[in-house]
Structure 1
Amino acid sequence: MEAIWTLGSPPSGQFSPLSGQTRSDVVIIGAGITGLTTALSLAESGMHVTVLEAHTVGAGCTGGSTGNLYSTLAKGLAPVRKKWSDEVLRDVVASRSQAIDSIEATVSRFGIDCGFHRRPLYRLVAQGKESMRDALEEERQAMLAAGLTVQEAESNALPVPIITGVKLENQAQFNPLAYVRGLARELVHLGVTIHEHSAVRDVDYKRGVVETEAGAVEAEHIVHATHTPKGINLLQSVMLPSREYGVSARLKPDSAYPQGTFWVLDDFHSLRSYHHDGDDYLMVIGEKHKVGEGEVDDVYPRRLRDYLSDNFDVQDFTHAWSAQQYSPADELPYIGRWHGRDKVYLATGFAADGLVWGALAGAILGDLILGRDNRWHERFDARRFTPVKSAKQWAKENVSVATHFVPGYLSVSKLESLDDVAPGQGKVATLEGEKVAIYRDDDGKVSVLSAVCPHMKCLVHWNDIESTWDCSCHGSRFDTQGEVIEGPSYHPLARRTKDS
C-alpha cells in the first residue's frame, strides 16, 4: 500500500543512518511534521539539532495523512464544547488557524513545492442519514461559538446525494510528504543533522542518551515526535489507537473534481482532490477501526473503492494506503513536558487532525526548550490532569487492553506444523509451548517470531490487509520480519527460528 503523496514528493533515503557516538543540544525522535517543525524553531535560534527517523522523512503518519489543513476538527467541535467551554473552543480554532498560517508562511519562505492552496471545508449530511441533522446543527452552533463564519453549503457541492450542510472558507490543502521533505532539505542548510533508517532502541534519560542499533546521541533535551511517545507513558492508557484507510482514483474524461475538503456524515467519508503533473485524482478516506481489531482481506479499501464507484465516474484506481491515529480522552492533544522529566518533551493525541496539531506542537515545544512563553502551552499541556473529562475513554481503553491481554493468551490455538500456514497467511498460534507469530510469504518462505509485543506484553494480531503484526493494546505495529513500523515499542518482535 502506497499513499498518493509519493506523486510530487522528492525521493526518500537522502540522509544516512546514524553511526557512532555524537553530541547535540537537542535530539528529536521522528521526522514527521511535528519533529521537523520543532527542529526549524530550534535551529533558527542557533541550537544544534539532531533528528532520528526510523524509516524515511515523512514516511509515517505525516505521509499517510489526508493533506487537509483546517481550523476545526474532523470529529467536530461539538465534542470539545461538551467537555470544555466556549473559551477552550475558541482557543482550539485560533491555535489551529495560527498553525495553518505558519505552514503557509514556511511554504512561501522556502519555496516548497507542495501544492499548498486555500480551499473551503464542507460538513454534509448525506441522503438517508436524516438523523444526522441534529448533530450537524449542534456542530454549526459550536463553530459559531468558536468564532467561525459559517455558510450554508451549496446543494451541488458533491455528486453524493446531500440533504444539507455547512461550509467554512479559507481552510487549506497540500501534499504533506512533499512539504516535510522540502522542509528537511532547508533544515540541513540551517545546520540540522538528519539520520534516516535510525530506529531508536533505548533512551537513557539520566544520561540524556538516545541509542540506535549503530550509534547514540547525547543531548540536553529529548523530544518524542513519534505520534505516540516511545516506551511506556501513562498517556497511552487514555488514548485510543485506530487506523483509517484511503484510496484514490482518476475519473473519466470531462468529469469534475470537487475542490475542497468534504466530510460526509454517512458512515463518515472524507473526500478531496489532488492535482499533480497535469493529472487530477479524487481520494476518499474512511473505514476507521481500532488497531488489531480490523476485518480480514481487502474489505476496507474495497468499501472505499465501491463508495467512489457508486458516486463518481471512476476510470481507474491508483493508490491505497492507511494511517494511524491516537485519540485523546478529553478531546485535546497532549503537548509539552513528559511527567517527571523536565527536559523530555512529547506531542500526542492528535486523533485525525495531526498535520495542524503537529505544526502547532512544533512551535510549542520549540518555545519550551528555548525558555520562551507560548500562549498555547498551558491549554494543551501534556501534564494536565482531567480525570472527569477523561474517565469514559480511560475506562473504555483499559477494558479493551484487559480484554485482549488475558483472553488473547488463552484463545490461541495449538499449531502442529508450520505447514498449516498457507502462502500469504499470518497466524498467531502456540508452537512447542510458546505463543508465536508465523508468516509464510507467497514463495513459501516462513518467518517465526514471538507473538508477544515487547512494549507491554500483549499479543499481536495479523493484519491481513497490510501484512503486518499489530498490537491492539497500545498500537505498536511490526512488519513480517518483526521490525517496528510504528507505535510505542522500541524493540522488534523476537525471532524464534531462522526463515525457512
Structure 2
Amino acid sequence: MQAIWKIGDTEIEHYPALAGKREADVVVIGAGITGLTTALQLAEDGSRVIVLEALSVGEGCTGGSTGNLYSPLAKGLSAIRKKWGDDVSRDIVTSRIETIDFIEATIERFAIDCQFHRRPLYRLFTTADEVQAYELDEERKALLEAGLEVEDIEQHVLPFSPLQGLKINDQAQFNPLLYVQGLAKAVSAMGVTILEHSPVRDVDYKQGVVKTDTAAVTARHIVHATHTPKGVDLLQTGMLPSREYGVSAKLNGEAYPEGIFWMLDPFHSLRSYRYAGESYLMVIGEKHKTGEGKYDYYQRLREYLSQHFDVQEFCHQWSAQQYSSADGLPYIGRMHARDNVYVATGFAADGLTWGTLAGRIIADLIHGRDNTWHAHFDARRITPAKSAGGWVKENASVTKHLVQDYLATGKLKEFAELAPGEAKVATLDGEKLAIYRNESGELSVLSAVCPHMKCLVHWNANDTTWDCPCHGSRFDTRGDVIEGPAYHALERRDPPVDS
C-alpha cells in the first residue's frame, strides 16, 4: 500500500533522467520540500539550477510526512527551552510561523491545489496523573513564553475523552505531495531543470562534480537536500535515524475530527484528510530506531484506530524516516570544511516546516545575503554540552551494531531454510549475506554489508526492505538504495540454481 497523498497525483508532471554532462550555478540533490524551496529562491535570483531526484518529485520523506504545519515542535518546546533558553525558543517559533506563512503565500502565488487549511493543534493526555500534569504545565509555560496563545482543553474534542490538554490555533495542514509537485511545476517554468530517476553515486567536491551512473553535473554550489547528507559526513555521528508509520481509514458515519491531534500517552498523531468528496482519518506513530523494528507496526496502528473509532475500512499504509540532531535543533548551512556545499538535516518529526526554512536559508547563503535565523541552525555549530547525550547514545548504538551484529550472525546451511516471505542475515562461506525469499518463492541474495560505513543491514518486515541501523540507509530487496547516506546498492550475489 502507499501513502494517502498519492490519491491526488493523477495529473502530475514527469521529468526526464539526467543524460550526458550538464553545467549549472547550483546543483540540488533531492526534489522534496527542501530542494524545491531552495530551487525556487535561487531561480528568482537568476541562478541556473539543476535538481537531481533519485525517485520522483516528492516521493521521499516529503511524500511520507503527516502534512502538518505547526510553529512549536512535536517533541515539545519545553525541552528546547530548558536546553537553549527563552530567546532561542522564541526565535524557533517565530521562524516557523514565518515559514508557514511563506508556504501559504507560495500556494496562493502559484495556485497550487493542495488542500491547504488553517487548523488548530492539540496536545492531549487521556490520563490525569501528576507527572503528565507537570509536563503539560511546563509545555504551556514554554509556549506562552515563545509568544503563542494557548488554551486549556476542557471539552471533548475527540470521540474518546482526553482528560487534559492544550490547544494552539492558527496552525495548518495540506497535502505535501501535491504541494511539492506544484512547486516543481512552478520552478520548472522559471527555468529550473528537474531530473527524476537520477540517483547520485558520487560527489567530487574538489571539482564540483555530482555524478550519477551515466552522467554528471558540474556546478559552483552543491546542495544536499536529501534529509541526511549523502556519503560520509561528520554530522551523521550525532544524528539518530528513526522510522514512523501511518495508516488511514474511512469511518462509519462519524464526524472526522479536524485539526492536528497529538495524543501523548503514548504518542500518536491523528488528523483527517478530505479529497474528491471522500474523507479519511489517519494515525501516525510507533516510532523506533531505524533497523531495530520488532513488531507489526501497521497492525498496531490499525488496532489503535479500531479501539477509538468506528472504522469502516482501512485504505492506506506507509512509513517515513526521521533524523534527530544531538542538540535538538536542525543543521542548516555550509558543510564542514566545504564553503560551496550545503546541508539540511536533523529535522526530527518537524521536517515540512524546517525543510522550507532550510531552503530559504541556503539560498541566502549562496547569494551572500544575511539570514535572520541561520545562526541558530548553522551546520558548523559546535555545542558539546547540549549535544553530549545524543552523541554518546548514537555512537554507542553504532558501535554495538558494528561489533554485535558481526559476531552474532549465524551460519546458513542451505537456502532451503528460508520459507516464502522470510528473510534473514546469515554467514555463508565466510560472507555476511542478506537473504530474502518472496511469497512466490523467488530468492534474493545480497551482501549484508552496508556500503556507507560497513554496518550489517537488518530486515524490515513492515516495509520489505533492508535497513541499516547505524546511519539509516535503506535498500529494497534488489539491493537498490531507497534513502539514506549510502551512494551505492548492496552488492548482489547469485543464488544457487536449485534454490
TM-score, L = length of structure 1: 0.98
The partner residue of 2:316 within 279, 299, 319 is 319
Residue 153 (structure 1) shift = 2.1
Rounded to whole Å, the distance in 1 between the matches of 2:16 and 2:420 is 35
Give CA-to-partner distance per residue, 1:97-150, whole Å, 9 cap, x none: 111000000000000000000000000111366632211111111101111111
Query: 2:291 aligned with 1:292, yes or no?
Result: yes
Superimposed CA distance per residue, residues 249-301 of structure 1 (whole angstroms, 9 cap, x where no aligned partner):
00112x111110000111111100000000110001110000000014xx211
Q: Which moved more, 1:5-14 or 1:364-373?
A: 5-14
Structure 2 match to 1:392: 389
Distance 1:176 1:150, change over 3 A: same
Q: CA deviation at 1:318?
A: 0.4
Task: Map 1:275-290 to 2 at 5 A.
Answer: 275-290=274-289
Contact 2:272 2:281 in 1 (8 A): yes
Q: Which secondary structure does the structure 2 equivalent of 1:309 belong to?
A: helix
Give 5+ residue unaligned stretches, structure 1.
Answer: none
Amino acid across the alignment from 1:101: D
Deviations 1:373-425 (A, max 9, x none): 11011111000000000000100000000111111001001001111111111
CA contact (8 A) 1:53 1:195 kept: yes
In structure 1, what is the Cα distance between the partners aligned to 2:124 and 2:59? 31
Q: Counterpart in 2 of 1:41? A: 41
Stretches of structure 2 lacking an aligned partner (at least 5 in a row)? none
Identify which of 418, 421, 442 aligns with 1:424. 421
SS in 1 for 2:62: coil
Partner in structure 1 of residue 29 of structure 2? 29
Look up the match of 2:371. 374
Q: Offset of 1:499 from its aligned partner?
A: 8.4
Q: Percent identity?
A: 64
CA distance in 1, matches of 2:496, 2:116: 46
Letter in 1 for 2:428: L
Q: Determine if the alignment matches structure 1 residue 328 to structure 2 residue 293.
A: no
Measured after TM superposition, the shift of residue 154 of structure 1 is: 4.4
Q: Which residue of 1 aligns with 2:461?
A: 464
Structure 1 letter corresponding to 2:437:
R
Name the aligned partner's letter for residue 133 of structure 2.
R
Distance across 1 between alignment mates of 2:413 and 2:19? 43
* Match status 1:351 vs 2:321: no
**What's the counterpart of residue 490 of structure 1?**
487
Which residue does the alignment assign to 1:233?
233
Partner of 1:81: 81
Q: Relative to structure 1, is the Cα distance of residues 306 and 38 closer, same or farther in structure 2, using a 3 angstrom cutoff?
A: same
User: Which residues of 2 match residues 298-317 of structure 1 at below 5 A?
Assistant: 299-317=296-314
Q: Which amino acid aligns with 1:452?
A: V
Residue 144 in structure 1 maps to residue 144 in structure 2: yes
Amino acid at match of 1:258: P
Q: Which amino acid aligns with 1:350?
A: F
C-alpha separation between the residues in 1 aligned to 2:38 and 2:27? Answer: 11
* Counterpart-to-counterpart distance in 1, 2:129 and 2:359: 39
- Which residue of structure 2 aligns with residue 263 of structure 1? 262
Partner Cα distance (1:425, 1:365) in 2: 44
Q: Could you tell me whether the CA contact under 8 Å between 2:250 and 2:312 is conserved in 1?
A: yes
Show CA shifts across 1:311-362 (max 9, x none).
Answer: 1111111001110000111110000000000000000000000000000000
How far did 1:11 drift?
5.0
The separation in 2 between residues aligned to 1:127 and 1:12, in whole angstroms, is 45
Distance in 1, matches of 2:479 and 2:176, equals: 28
In structure 2, distance between residues paired with 1:285 and 1:76: 17
Q: 2:432 matched to which residue of 1?
A: 435
What residue is the counterpart of 1:186 in the other structure?
Answer: 186
Conserved? CA contact 2:128–2:164, under 8 Å: no
How many angstroms apart in 2 are the aligned matches of 1:499 and 1:12? 42
Question: What secondary structure sits across from 2:147 in the alignment?
Answer: coil
Separation of aligned partners in 2, 1:12 and 1:450: 36
Question: Is the deviation greater in 304-313 or in 167-176?
Answer: 304-313
**Residue aligned with 1:365, SS:** helix
Q: Distance in 2 between matches of 1:288 and 1:97?
A: 26
Change (3 A) 1:314 1:409: same
The alpha carbon displacement at 1:13 in A equals 6.9
Residue 333 of structure 2 contacts residue 361 of structure 2 at CA under 8 Å; is this kept in 1?
A: yes
Distance 1:40 1:426 in 2: 43
1:33 counterpart letter in structure 2: I
The 8 Å contact of residues 116 and 175 in structure 2, kept in 1 or not, is answered as: yes
Measure, in 2, the Cα distance between the counterparts of 1:341 and 1:498.
43
Go from structure 1 to structure 2 and tell me whether the alpha carbon gap of 1:263 and 1:129 turns closer, same or farther (over 3 Å shift). Answer: farther
1:138 counterpart SS class: helix
Structure 2 counterpart of 1:414: 411
- Aligned residue for 1:378, secondary structure, equals helix
Aligned-residue CA RMSD (Å): 1.1
Letter in 1 for 2:139: E
CA gap 1:495/1:270 in 2 versus in 1, 3 angstroms: same
Secondary structure, aligned partner of 2:257: coil
C-alpha contact 2:13 2:181 (8 A) present in aligned 1: no
* Contact in 2 for aligned 1:62/1:176 (Cα 8 Å): yes
In 1, Cα distance between equivalents of 2:289 and 2:193: 35
- One-letter amino acid matched to 2:472: G
Cα distance in 1 for residues equivalent to 2:331 and 2:160: 36
Q: Which runs of 4+ in 1 moved over 4 A?
A: 10-13
What is the number of residues matched between the two proteins? 497
Distance 1:10 1:30, change over 3 A: farther
Q: Deviations over 1:43-90 (max 9, x none)?
A: 111111000001111001000000000000000001101110100000
**Letter of the aligned partner of 1:148 in structure 2?**
L
TM-score, with structure 2 as normaliser: 0.98
